[in-house]
Chain A
Amino acid sequence: MDDNPVFTSIKEDVESNDVVLFMKGTPVFPQCGFSAATVQALTLLGVKFKGIDVLQDPSLRDGIKQYSSWPTIPQLYVKGEFVGGCDIVREMYETGELGELLTSSGIAMEPAA
């Protein structure tokens, strides 16, 4: 699996950015309800994240699913670790676990007042 060149760029992205969301569309213009709901959770927490639009690159869209053995998009990564997809992120937001994870990872949040 290491021979897939797209894994190298995924690895680089998730390791050089604290919070990365692979999604359909952009954080400003999500093109899928599940991606939009995930962006919303991150936005409510006020955490800065890098959004990567998989619709721009078929090899990335396919490769990201193999990278974490996760068949769907969106996918959230914190400090290089796969956290989950839309359902998991929303659930963790609701229970407060997502905020705790970010805090314990030393990532700043500025929730909207």
Chain B
Amino acid sequence: MTIQETIEQKIATSLAPVHLEVINESHMHNVPPGSESHFKVVIVTDTFDGVTRVRRQQQVNGILAAELQGGVHALSMQTLTPQEWEARGGSIIQSPACLGGGGNKD
């Protein structure tokens, strides 16, 4: 299973999302072709209702702890309730371009 599939499966199992996108954005960064290092996830689920943004992302970081300690360098996320998703018109914020700095995961 690819890392992308693992991320999809873990989030789907833990958070029961009504909408889930896992996007491999590694090509936007300074890594070899075919890498699985930079991901964006869009998670829309009722379980985020009444949970602060910080707590939502901490939940996702917990679910994907093994991946984040492994090969995944960056995980951008949009964590929304179905109501928030609808209010946004189902659109997502584009990720920023890489500036090449640091070179390490965080």
A contact residues vs B (CB 8 Å cutoff): 24-25, 30-34, 36-37, 55, 61, 65, 69-73, 82-88, 90-92, 94
User: What are the residues of chain A within 8 A of B96 when measuring CB–CB?
Assistant: 33-34, 36-37, 86
Q: Is the CB of A32 within 8 A of B93?
A: no
Known: A33-B98, A71-B61. A88 touches B54 (CB 8 A): yes
CB pair A55 B101 closer than 8 Å? yes
Determine which of A30, A65, A83, A87 lies in contact with B77 in the assembled complex, contact meaning CB atoms within 8 Å: A87
Contacts of B76 on A, CB cut-off 8 Å? Answer: 34, 86-87
Give the residue of B95, B101, B106 whose beta carbon is less than 8 angstroms from that of A72: B106
> Which residues of B does A touch, CB under 8 Å?
53-54, 57-58, 61, 68, 74-78, 93, 95-102, 106
Q: Complex Cα distance A12/B71, Å?
A: 34
* Beta-carbon contact of A91 and B93 below 8 Å: yes
The answer for the CA separation of A70 and B54 in the assembled complex, in Å, is: 9
Residues of A within 8 A of B58 (CB): 69-70
Inter-chain contacts of A87 with B (CB < 8 A) = 57, 76-78, 93
Q: Contact: A33 with B106, CB < 8 Å?
A: no
Task: Assess whether B102 is in contact with A88, with CB atoms less than 8 Å apart.
Answer: no
Of all A-B residue pairs in the complex, the 4 with the closest CB atoms, nearest first, are: A31-B101, A33-B96, A37-B96, A88-B53
B93 touches A90 (CB 8 A): yes
- Give Cα A82 to B77, complex, Å: 17
Q: Which of B68, B75, B97, B101 is packed against the most chain A CB atoms within 10 Å? A: B101
